[in-house]
Amino acid sequence: MAINIGLDKDEMKAVTKELKGFLADSYALYLKTHNYHWNVTGPLFKAVHELTEQQYLALAAAVDDIAERIRTLGEKAPGSFAAYAKATSIKDGDETLDAEAMLADLVKSHETVIRSARHLLETASKAHDESTVALISDRLADHEKQAWMLRSLIA
């Protein structure tokens, strides 16, 4: 059945295209965060282990929300490692890094997602897609906060 929710079909395609990239980046960040949660060592272990657990749990919920928004707009949500690897701009995590390097890498990845969110907000706003704007605006605020928390642990 055709979707008739008051959004232009071509603009919805543009929004979903960017949402798919945002989903891939968010999932890649989820994987990296979980990797560092498992593999952090050293004097910052407890703080990084606890913070990354909070972050990967939040990211797990976020990727579901993003995928469901893609489905709401009538597209299939990508759900494979191959699809995410092709679409993400987030590099894989390196579990051999020390805790501070892990933190810096996570900050960099959150900042990548933040920049992607800002571009997506512009596209969704132009399409008058207020639901996507609300979702991505909330994600943007969360990524900014998480990057700040991570930065605060770096000496």
> Both tokens of residue 58?
């939040």
**CA 88 distance to own-chain centroid:** 10
Segments of the chain with pLDDT less than 70: none
Amino acid 53: pLDDT: 98
Radius of gyration, alpha carbons of the chain? 16
Whose tokens are 């965060």? That residue is: 33
Q: What is the DSSP string of 23-91?
A: HHHHHHHHHHHHHHHHH--STTHHHHHHHHHHHHHHHHHHHHHHHHHHHHTT-PPP-SHHHHHHH--PP
The Cα–Cα gap between 114 and 71 comes to 22
The Cα–Cα gap between 64 and 113 comes to 16
The Cα–Cα gap between 61 and 137 comes to 15
Contact predicate 125/38, CB 8 Å: no
In CATH, what is the architecture of 9-152? Up-down Bundle (1.20)
Amino acid 5: pLDDT: 86
- Cα–Cα distances in Å, from 51 out to 35, 40, 75, 132? 13, 11, 34, 27
Count of other CB atoms within 10 angstroms of residue 9: 11
Tell me how many degrees the CA angle 130-23-59 measures, rounded to the nearest 5. 95
